[in-house]
Amino acid sequence: MIPDNGLRARRLGIDTHSETVVFLRKDCSVCRSEGFTSHNRILLSSGAHHAIATLYQVESDILGCDEAGLSDATWRALGLKEGDFITVQHAPPVESLSLVRSRIFGHALGEADFQHIVPDIVAGRYSAIEVTSFITACAAQPLARDEVCFLTRAMVDAGQRLRWDQRIIADKHSVGGLPGNRTTPIIVAICTALGLVMPKTSSHAITSPAGTADTMETLAPVDLDERALRAVVQREGGCIAWGGAMRLSPADDILIRIEHALDIDSEGQMIASILSKKIAAGATHLVIDMPVGPTAKVRGAQAAASLTAGLAAVAENFGIRIQVMMGDGNQPIGRGIGPALEARDVLAVLTGRPEAPQDLRGRALALAGGLLEMSGGAAAGQGIKLATAALDDGRAWTKFQRICEAQGGMRTPPVSSHRKIIAATRDGAVLSIDNRRIARLAKLAGAPQAKAAGIALHVRLGDMVSAGTPLCTLHAEAAGELAYALSYADANADIFGIGAS
Amino acid sequence: MIPDNGLRARRLGIDTHSETVVFLRKDCSVCRSEGFTSHNRILLSSGAHHAIATLYQVESDILGCDEAGLSDATWRALGLKEGDFITVQHAPPVESLSLVRSRIFGHALGEADFQHIVPDIVAGRYSAIEVTSFITACAAQPLARDEVCFLTRAMVDAGQRLRWDQRIIADKHSVGGLPGNRTTPIIVAICTALGLVMPKTSSHAITSPAGTADTMETLAPVDLDERALRAVVQREGGCIAWGGAMRLSPADDILIRIEHALDIDSEGQMIASILSKKIAAGATHLVIDMPVGPTAKVRGAQAAASLTAGLAAVAENFGIRIQVMMGDGNQPIGRGIGPALEARDVLAVLTGRPEAPQDLRGRALALAGGLLEMSGGAAAGQGIKLATAALDDGRAWTKFQRICEAQGGMRTPPVSSHRKIIAATRDGAVLSIDNRRIARLAKLAGAPQAKAAGIALHVRLGDMVSAGTPLCTLHAEAAGELAYALSYADANADIFGIGAS
């Protein structure tokens, strides 16, 4: 006999990412009768829909005693509409949390354990601190190789999975951390022009100034559902779409938010994150771009070698062929940092303009070449040659335009309305460029929300400059954002390290 | 040059415990110009006051674009009053988080490291997930003995510390997990009656149906500031007060909330938690009650031995003498569970009434005897005898009344208005009583907020019962709470295990 715990659901419009949060008045009858306190996990029910949410108690009139205030994630999880009523009660214990505790205290997890934990995370049954505890435990006592395989499998199983008729599905991933490294649109254009099937799904930026989906969105629609995506691939052999609508490895989206907030990347989780997305997308042949440098995500040769070995072993377990291609991660790639600025670099490379950034062109050709060779699209040693030919004779550009048309029509990237040049304050050689702070600067200028915002670089490592030489141009869509980025640049004059070479 | 980020502070009355949270409109100019996203850590400033808070972004009219909505903890941290303005900006990196990350990846922490981490936690510079990560890392790779000492020291140093003129300061702690185990008021009465100095500070319940401060509050005021507490101790040699006003080891209050939410207790953190509070309170001689049983906090002999060894080693490092006294943790102690019901058990023992629960009396005498012997208040082997004499001849009761008067005047515990007997549904012997679920039942009935609420037990392990024999009585202050506890009792008939003996 549960008393009537009906409360009017109210959408508070609070963005808590995927975390389900509920606000109740401390003095409401259900808080009193159930003995709730803040941070309790509460079971919310609306008809056949249930969600477990973290409770914050309210002692003010922003809520009525007969109301339950819900964060957006909670509102969506319950499938509510205005005026609906919900009931609330203590959440039953989430059984898989005992497995997390057992992992904390040193017991390895088996395949069935991950198959309990991961779906519970995806279903929102874990609070943010519970997800944190799982992530930290798997970093502090590193995941064994078989645990990484189990985790990867569970992450794949907890989401949708794309299946393709073709025997070979080519894909590409970048380990990230390098601003401006926007090779994907170029690689897809080259490889599909040469006959590979490459249904590429990408993400929006989480912490960077642009994700591939952000850049691509300035060139064509990317928000395709599965039917639309399949139609594009059917027609053109490839696409460059946003993967979000496909729910590929949704666990990854939850885990990665917490990993970013904590600024921890453990090798096992990075492998499961990368491969679960690709397995779910149906990839059979995968080239992985791994920039290595002191301010890139992978900071040195040892970490790169270890990550590469782990990726290869787990990929083999799933029957996926991978090739990891390490690259120079000491400075950004290309000139633009930010969605539209990177899109213009991509266009310059695809159309063979003389000012096209050669590092971006070279990196895209190397990765496309590697992918062609491993996928049977080129004989050994012939990949780069074939890729270069397809790029230089316009086949890649034609294919790119066709893909954009198939995705809904090609667009022209927007142009910034506010700009400011940042100049060198001394003579010397450019000795270093800090990837992390240059990315931060681009974000302060408004990227990726402001599509035209970001940075255009004018120098590369080794260039000689004098006081007054332009180092980069800030691009913004609003005066306030430009001013704010400028103040950060003033306070961080050493983003560009200039000195005696 | 930072643009004008002034926002009107608005107290939203949201209880987030110690976590500082700020709500901003997603479309406000500062969110746009600073590129904030939900879960960012934001630096809030009001004059000389600063606080780092976790951001949730709002897309509704519960907030204006010129407002910053603050949780209670944030409001307090900034020392605001209605109408004040605050500025917001990206929080600078919290340097000590890099030490936490390094601990996650296997590096031991040194004394100076803990002296960076713990004050940052106390100052609210860590988000809940960052605290979680620290706690989990220290559980997944257990703290070494010297790390426990460093953590304990840092926790003591990060708060206030009481210093006493007397050479011997007696104290008592219970590891907990056993409902009704309310020996503290009896022990303080006995030991101070026999001349020990015992300035006992206790806490309110966090997850249990009553803490010592909750029970004692039904008998006398417990909310004393340091001056008042010292005056009571000066006059009577001891007190039974709430420790919260003294800010003893405030880090513990933050860590313990997260540990409870995660339901993890690692040995090292438990040792630091217990001893930091006692060192800060000025204790020199400490008796520790450690109930051991399958549903108590310490579940078996091996865990008890390991925890005891750790407590002894760390205490020695700080020059504190301790004695751990293990006890039967298989069932609750006394009859009452809940503030007033436990208070009545305490009074029955102190006044020597025939119905006084003998297990509570016996446990209090054993602990008092141990404390007397280790503190020089009794010769070896004479502790229990002396304690029993002081209890039986009324000296302890007289002393208890005097302490209550000194704390502000003795009170009569309240009596419940709603009651219901829960009876056995079959014949047999009482084979088990589940401490955790009996505590939950008492909380559902309203304890500890409703002081008179809780459970009065009528049976103990080994008792023979028939169908219809009363097992316990539920006490509540409201019909709804009684009904809710009853429905839980109905669904959990096996809280009392009854069967063939």
pLDDT tens-digit profile of A44-103?
999 889 999 999 999 988 899 999 999 999 999 999 998 899 999 888 778 899 999 999
Cβ atoms of residues A118 and A126 within 8 Å: no
Measure Cα distances from A173 to A183, A218, A281 in Å.
10, 21, 12
Please tell me whether residue A129 adopts helix, strand or coil conformation: helix
User: Taking the CB of residue B277, how many other CB atoms lie within 10 A of it?
Assistant: 25
Q: Quick one: pLDDT at residue B411? A: 97
Q: Report phi then psi at A96, rounded to 5.
A: -70, -15
| Angstrom distance (rounded) from CA A25 to CA B14 | 9
Percentage of residues of chain A with pLDDT beyond 90:
82
Interchain contact, B484 vs A56, CB within 8 Å: no
Q: Quick one: pLDDT at residue A214? A: 97
Query: How many residues would you count in chain A?
Result: 501
Name the closest residue on chain B to residue A208, using Cα atoms: B35
Strands (E) located in B183-248: 198-202, 238-242
Cα-based angle A258, A261, A263 (whole degrees, multiple of 5) = 105
Task: Say if residue B379 is exposed, middle or buried (CB neighbours under 10 Å; 0-12, 13-18, 19+).
Answer: exposed
β-strand pairing of A85-90 with B285-292: unpaired
Measure Cα distances from A120 to A125, A140, B32 in Å.
5, 22, 34
Q: Quick one: pLDDT at residue B82? A: 87
| Tally of helices (H runs) and strands (E runs) in chain B | 18, 19
Interchain contact, B97 vs A263, CB within 8 Å: yes
- The C-alpha of A130 sits at a distance from chain B's nearest C-alpha, in angstroms, of 7
Summarize the confidence of residues A293-305 as an average pLDDT. Answer: 90
Cβ atoms of residues B202 and B243 within 8 Å: yes
Q: State ipTM.
A: 0.87
User: Taking the CB of residue A20, how many other CB atoms lie within 10 A of it?
Assistant: 27
Q: B190: which residues sit within 8 A by CB, 6+ positions away?
A: B364, B365, B368, B387, B390, B391, B396, B399
Contacts of B137 in chain A (CB under 8 A): 136, 139-140
Interchain contact, A35 vs B140, CB within 8 Å: no
**Quick one: tokens of B137?**
């890392």
pLDDT band at A4 (very low <50, low <70, confident <90, very high): low
Contacts of B38 in chain A (CB under 8 A): 15-17
Measure Cα distances from B115 to A315, B140, B147, B316 in Å.
43, 21, 11, 21
- The C-alpha of B27 sits at a distance from chain A's nearest C-alpha, in angstroms, of 12
| Angstrom distance (rounded) from CA A462 to CA A273 | 36
Measure Cα distances from B264 to B64, B71, B134, B139, B156 in Å.
40, 27, 13, 8, 22
| Angstrom distance (rounded) from CA A27 to CA A36 | 10
- Mean residue pLDDT across chain A: 93
Short-list A210, A209, A212, A184, CA closest to A198: A184
| Angstrom distance (rounded) from CA A49 to CA B160 | 49
| Angstrom distance (rounded) from CA B314 to CA B148 | 7
Angle between helices B145-157 and B250-262 (to 10 degrees): 120
pLDDT band at A5 (very low <50, low <70, confident <90, very high): low
Helices (H), B6-110: 29-34, 72-78, 97-104
- The C-alpha of A430 sits at a distance from chain B's nearest C-alpha, in angstroms, of 26
- Enter the pTM of the model: 0.89
Short-list B418, B486, B416, B420, CA closest to B452: B416
Residue A6's DSSP bridge partners are A87
Interchain contact, A133 vs B132, CB within 8 Å: yes
Short-list B312, B357, B350, CA closest to B458: B357
Of B11, B137, B266, the CB nearest to A136: B137
Angle between helices B383-392 and B184-193 (to 10 degrees): 100
Set out the domains of chain A in order of their start, with CATH numbers: 6-90 (2.40.40.20), 170-243+282-407 (3.40.1030.10), 418-499 (3.90.1170.30)
pLDDT band at A138 (very low <50, low <70, confident <90, very high): very high
Percent helix, strand and coil across chain A, each to the nearest 5: 40, 20, 35
Q: Is A490 among the catalytic positions?
A: no
| Tally of helices (H runs) and strands (E runs) in chain A | 18, 19
| Angstrom distance (rounded) from CA A178 to CA A200 | 20
Q: Report phi then psi at A53, rounded to 5.
A: -135, 155
Q: Quick one: pLDDT at residue A101? A: 94
Torsion region of A96: left, alpha or beta (phi above 0 gives left; psi -120 to 50 gives alpha): alpha
- Interface A-B: count of C-beta contacts within 8 A: 184
pLDDT band at A235 (very low <50, low <70, confident <90, very high): very high
Short-list B457, B458, B446, B453, CA closest to B475: B453
The series of mean pLDDT values per 10 residues for chain B, 501 residues long, is 70 88 90 77 91 92 92 92 89 89 94 98 92 96 96 97 96 91 97 98 90 97 96 97 92 92 90 97 97 89 95 97 94 97 98 96 98 96 97 98 98 97 96 93 91 97 96 93 89 92 70
Interchain contact, A1 vs B487, CB within 8 Å: yes
Interchain contact, A60 vs B13, CB within 8 Å: yes
Of B16, B35, B484, the CB nearest to A33: B484
Q: Which of B120, B265, B359, B434 is catalytic?
A: B265
